[in-house]
Chain A
Amino acid sequence: DVVMTQSPLSLPVTLGQPASISCRSSQSLVYSDGNIYLNWFHQRPGQSPRRLIYKVSNRDSGVPDRFSGSGSGTDFTLKISRVEAEDVGVYYCMQGTHWLWTFGQGTKVEIK
């Protein structure tokens, strides 16, 4: 199985400051159709995950533009330009290229 490794696992941030989460895959995530199925999710306590970013850099409808995704091959990054209080929770990357599709361990974002 493809292993997805996130860092850091815990990220204390100051309101209004930027934040960045790294996600590395153990194999290239380029699929045979040319797409890279690397997605990002946000899970607040007691809620189900919500997709933020799909296929590396495509922001979902309703997701604030302070969220951005980038990367290629095996290295990917989720950036929050200015953290707001509602951004706390756990962020997961997920690869949908190689079955069994797998998630990173999660990065817990909290306000300092």
Chain B
Amino acid sequence: QVQLVESGGGLVKPGGSLTLSCAASGFTFSDNYMSWIRQAPGKGLEWVSYISGSSHDTNYADSVKGRFTISRDNAKNSLYLQMNSLTAEDTAVYYCVKNTRVAAYWGQGTLVTVSS
């Protein structure tokens, strides 16, 4: 069965950096677009970024463009999100999601807290 396990969240100071990871299993990782979606505490859902199987196609929400970088390692069945210049508005649970337009499967999420 599909499994997505995020890691790398934690407490970081404003202006700091963090890299999230997602370990995927149960499907052919390299054949699938992958995404990151976030949810601020007590709030709704916001798409952050997606990447194609080949890594040739990526896109970002305006709120993170220029600060976040999505990448993947198909040999390791892993998805990443490099986050720089973090602000309090980036505080959220970050979910790794299989597929894009239909958001088929979600991981359990990893919490990123940006605070001094």
- Which residues does A use to contact B, with CB under 8 Å? 31, 37, 39, 41, 47-51, 54-55, 92, 94, 96-97, 99-106
| Chain B interface (Cβ < 8 Å from any Cβ of A) | 44-47, 59, 61-62, 95, 100-109
Closest A residue by C-beta to B100: A96
Interface residue SS majority, chain A: loop
> Which chain B residues lie closer than 8 Å to A102 at the CB level?
47
A-B contact pairs, 29 of them (CB 8 A): A37-B101, A39-B102, A47-B108, A48-B106, A48-B107, A48-B108, A48-B109, A49-B95, A50-B106, A51-B102, A51-B103, A51-B106, A54-B102, A55-B102, A94-B45, A94-B103, A96-B100, A96-B103, A99-B59, A100-B47, A100-B61, A100-B62, A101-B100, A101-B101, A102-B47, A103-B44, A103-B46, A104-B44, A105-B44
> Which of these, B45, B61, B62, B102, contacts A49 with CB under 8 Å?
B45
Instruction: Give the chain A neighbours of B59 by CB distance below 8 A.
Output: 99
Residue of B whose beta carbon sits closest to that of A37: B101
Shortest beta-carbon distance from A84 to chain B in Å: 22
Pair B106/A101 contact, Cβ less than 8 Å:
no
| CA–CA, A101 and B44, complex, Å | 13
